[in-house]
Amino acid sequence: MQPEVANALAEAANLLLVGMVVVFLFLSLLIGAITLIAWINKLIPDASLNTIQNQTTFSHSSLSNNPGVSPKIVAAISTAISEHRQSH
């Protein structure tokens, strides 16, 4: 094999090795950071999430009190939503 080709292959292998090590280290740090954030989030839960969940949940009686919406339509929509939530 010619010396230029051997040198080029050695340089390519070195570059390949360095690139793979850099990508591996970056992905390892990314996974570690995500795990750390999840751990911190479990220790200190955000209180605003509870208020958002409470605002999105509503009772069927609040929908049925609306005079413009038929109770049959409310029942159909409620059934469709519960079926969708159970299937997913």
Are both 44 and 75 inside the same structural domain? no
What domain range is 30 assigned to? Answer: 1-57
**Cα–Cα distance measured from residue 12 to residue 34, given in angstroms and rounded to the nearest whole number:** 33
Task: State how many domains the chain has.
Answer: 2
Q: What pLDDT score does 65 carry?
A: 59
Are both 10 and 48 inside the same structural domain? yes
Segment (H or E) for 35: helix 3-43
* Residue 44 in this model has a pLDDT that exceeds 60: yes
Are both 52 and 62 inside the same structural domain? no
Are both 36 and 8 inside the same structural domain? yes
30 or 74, which is more confident: 30
45 or 63, which is more confident: 45
Position 54, amino acid = N
- DSSP one-letter string for 42-79: HHS--HHHHHHHHHH---HHHHHT-TTS-HHHHHHHHH
Instruction: Please state the pTM of the whole predicted model.
Output: 0.48
